[in-house]
Structure 1
């Protein structure tokens, strides 16, 4: 026999998700109650009430001339999540070594739904501007780590992911060109970003696997076109693969 839904639980769930939407809107740059309400579709009065509660709980901060911004509680939780990440802890020594060896920016990332999220980053020892940060998100289909993370998914899934990113303007390569690249990357066990995410930036990425053989993260080396042509990217594949293999081994896995 089916049960009647609990209206109190439903209302509580709606309030929770609306509060999270408010936090996301502020993270995306909304500063006023009206901007947050427009972004979330929540009524102005409800948005104001939720934002005020989130300020009290330190998830948001409010300054009269600046408006809303993320609060210190989120910073605390972010560092706690980072400390609790087995992958980030296991990989730290290896990505530091990789950054020292290549002198380029090194990223550690994982898949989170339709995007990738950066778990760690080591800045380059040479002048290079890479628009990324720990906890930041990027599209899947135009980033090296994104492509490395989905190498095992196969063409049907690749097409779905391509459509998602293309509809949002995140990828500009023709579908068949991008798919041909993915098949080559899947066969080689690595992936390139050839200025697809940002002009003048290239990278090579390799997946990291756990004991079940599942891809759980990816590691990449990123450089500028001035110092990193495609020949250098190819020369870096064994180096990045070695770091990925070492991290995988710590997680009980292997790249095969």
Structure 2
């Protein structure tokens, strides 16, 4: 949870007590990193979880604004460089926005 892009998204949305249910305090990313993830709306993994695998993740939020799921792109770290992440991020955010709109519409209808 503390080393994946998706996990970092979830952890950034939690308070400390909830985070500690998922990871030991010494395993958590620094508070400053989690604050930056929460503010920017994305998280990145540069091989922390699996050597040579990079990932970029964005949240999909429900009607209440809570994270319902994440949307991610993965790739070999030597190809998933900063330029690739910069290219993929707006597309991931747009796709997550579309999925969130569908989710909210289905929640409202239910």
Same fold (TM over 0.5): yes
Q: How many Å separate the matches in 1 of 2:46 and 2:67?
A: 22
Counterpart for residue 91 of structure 1: none
Q: How many Å separate the matches in 2 of 1:196 and 1:158?
A: 22
Counterpart for residue 103 of structure 2: 251
Quickly say closer, same or farther: Cα 1:145–1:165, change in 2 above 3 A: farther
Q: Which runs of 5+ in 1 are unaligned?
A: 1-139, 167-174
Counterpart for residue 83 of structure 2: 231
Deviations 1:105-125 (A, max 9, x none): xxxxxxxxxxxxxxxxxxxxx
Q: How many Å separate the matches in 1 of 2:26 and 2:49?
A: 12
Quickly say closer, same or farther: Cα 1:158–1:224, change in 2 above 3 A: farther
Counterpart for residue 211 of structure 1: 63
Residue pair 2:60, 2:99 contacting (<8 A) in 1 also: yes
TM-score by length of 2: 0.80
Q: Name the SS for the 1:251 alignment partner.
A: helix
Counterpart for residue 8 of structure 2: 147
Q: How many Å separate the matches in 2 of 1:228 and 1:242?
A: 19
Deviations 1:45-88 (A, max 9, x none): xxxxxxxxxxxxxxxxxxxxxxxxxxxxxxxxxxxxxxxxxxxx
Q: How many residues align?
A: 104
RMSD: 2.2
Counterpart for residue 36 of structure 2: 184
Residue pair 2:2, 2:11 contacting (<8 A) in 1 also: no
